[in-house]
């Protein structure tokens, strides 16, 4: 997927975050419907994916597919690692992330880069964080192999992605990719089982796997309800994305899509 096409896909998300003061745009995690804001749901998904993975003041953490830098900032503020580097393919998102942290001495840093060819040295990273980004990767096995290359022995990859067992159905939806629109996701969806098999075949040990489809659907429900309360006029600039997210919520609820969290360690 070209950078230009990815920019077109994510532009409505950027407008939505600016309109509502959001710091990220993942699906979120809601244990109880209506209890917290959508922004809090997004943070809760980050903490759920990280689980009990250790990040200390000497750690190097990489956020691959960091978007506009929300999770990078939350992780940096909470754990205070020695280095936190966000790697993002989409140039407009890199610029938005940089602007948020401009002028601060202690901060994450953001690089434009390709997840298939991480701009990092061998065995230089303690924790890799990758949330809701791998669905766009043309070669997920190559990405996971790159993660193994840059992880230190004993390092952890925390990966959260939208998965499916219904690849033929979504291959038909993929026909939209021939038209350059905000609905051209260029998604290549794997099943959770395929992820687990690939981790094992590359020598990564599975620490944890969790299906949070219901919690992510409830989070999206809360976010979409909040947008709906503000009226149709307030959704100007991202109305198409509103219906897209409604569609994703229904697919998660009916389990045509699943939201899976994995933590794996390099032996």
Per-residue pLDDT at 186 exceeds 50: yes
Closest CA to 31 of 210, 165, 242: 210
* Distance, CA of 204 to CA of 157 (rounded, Å): 9
pLDDT tens string 122-147: 999 999 999 999 998 989 999 999 99
29/96: higher pLDDT: 29
pLDDT given for residue 16 in this prediction: 66
pLDDT at 59: 98
- Residue carrying the six token digits 């993975």: 53
Give CA–CA dist 181/204, Å, rounded: 37
CA dihedral 96, 212, 84, 128 (to 10 degrees): -120
The proportion of the chain whose per-residue pLDDT surpasses 90, expressed as a percent, equals 65
Secondary structure (3-state) at 117? strand
Whether residue 36 has pLDDT greater than 80: yes
CA distances from 211 to 47, 97, 171, 266 (A): 15, 29, 23, 22
Number of domains in the chain: 1
**Residue 83 clears pLDDT 90, i.e. is over it:** yes
Domain of residue 133: give its range: 3-266
* Whether pLDDT at 92 is above 80: yes
For residue range 209-253, list pLDDT tens digits in order: 999 999 999 999 998 898 778 776 666 666 777 788 898 999 999
Cα-Cα-Cα-Cα torsion 53, 158, 65, 212, nearest 10 degrees, comes to -110
Q: Which residue has the tokens 């950027």?
A: 14
* 89-93, 99-103, 139-143, 186-190, range with greatest mean pLDDT: 139-143
* pLDDT for the residue numbered 159: 98
Give yes or no for a contact between 251 and 142, defined as CB atoms under 8 angstroms apart. no
Query: Could you tell me where the beta strands, DSSP code E, fall in the chain?
Result: 60-64, 83-88, 109-112, 125-131, 151-163, 204-211, 258-266
Instruction: Please give the average per-residue pLDDT across 152-168, as a whole number.
Output: 93
* Euclidean distance between the first and the last CA atom of the chain, given in angstroms as a whole number: 32
| Position 182 confidence tier, pLDDT thresholds 50, 70, 90 | very low
CA–CA separation, 217 vs 196, rounded Å?
23
Nearest in space to 126 (alpha carbons), one of 199, 75, 74, 54: 54
pLDDT at 6 over 60: no
Query: How many beta carbons lie within 10 A of that of residue 222, not counting itself?
Result: 19
Question: What pLDDT shows up at residue 22?
Answer: 74
Global confidence as pTM: 0.90
Mean pLDDT across the chain, nearest whole number? 87
Query: Tokens 């230190």 label which residue?
Result: 152
Q: Kind of pairing, strands 151-163 and 258-266?
A: antiparallel
For the segment 32-58, the average pLDDT, to the nearest whole number, is: 95
What CATH number corresponds to the domain at position 204?
3.40.50.150
Sheet with 125-131, side-by-side order of all strands: 109-112, 83-88, 60-64, 125-131, 151-163, 258-266, 204-211
């Amino acid at each position: 997927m070209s950078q230009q096409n990815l920019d077109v896909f994510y532009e409505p998300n950027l407008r939505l975050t600016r309109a509502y003061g959001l710091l990220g745009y993942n699906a979120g995690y809601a244990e109880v419907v209506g209890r917290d804001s959508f922004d809090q749901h997004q943070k809760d998904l980050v903490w759920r994916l990280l689980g009990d993975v250790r990040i200390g003041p000497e750690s190097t953490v990489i956020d691959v597919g960091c978007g506009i830098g929300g999770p990078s900032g939350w992780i940096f503020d909470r754990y205070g690692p020695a280095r936190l580097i966000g790697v993002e393919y989409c140039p407009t998102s890199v610029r938005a992330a940089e602007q948020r942290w401009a002028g601060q001495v202690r901060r994450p840093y953001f690089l434009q880069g390709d997840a298939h060819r991480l701009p990092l040295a061998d065995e230089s990273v303690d924790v890799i964080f990758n949330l809701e980004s791998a669905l766009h990767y043309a070669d997920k096995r190559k990405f996971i192999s790159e993660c193994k290359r840059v992880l230190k022995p004993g390092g952890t990859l925390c990966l959260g992605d939208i998965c499916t067992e219904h690849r033929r159905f979504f291959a038909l939806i993929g026909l939209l990719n021939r038209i350059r629109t905000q609905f051209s996701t260029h998604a290549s969806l794997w099943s959770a089982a395929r992820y687990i098999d690939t981790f094992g075949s590359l020598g990564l040990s599975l620490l944890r796997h969790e299906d949070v489809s219901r919690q992510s659907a409830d989070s999206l429900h809360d976010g979409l309800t909040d947008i709906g309360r503000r009226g149709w006029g307030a959704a100007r600039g991202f109305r198409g994305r509103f219906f897209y997210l409604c569609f994703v919520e229904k697919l998660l609820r009916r389990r045509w899509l699943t939201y899976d969290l994995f933590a794996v360690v390099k032996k």
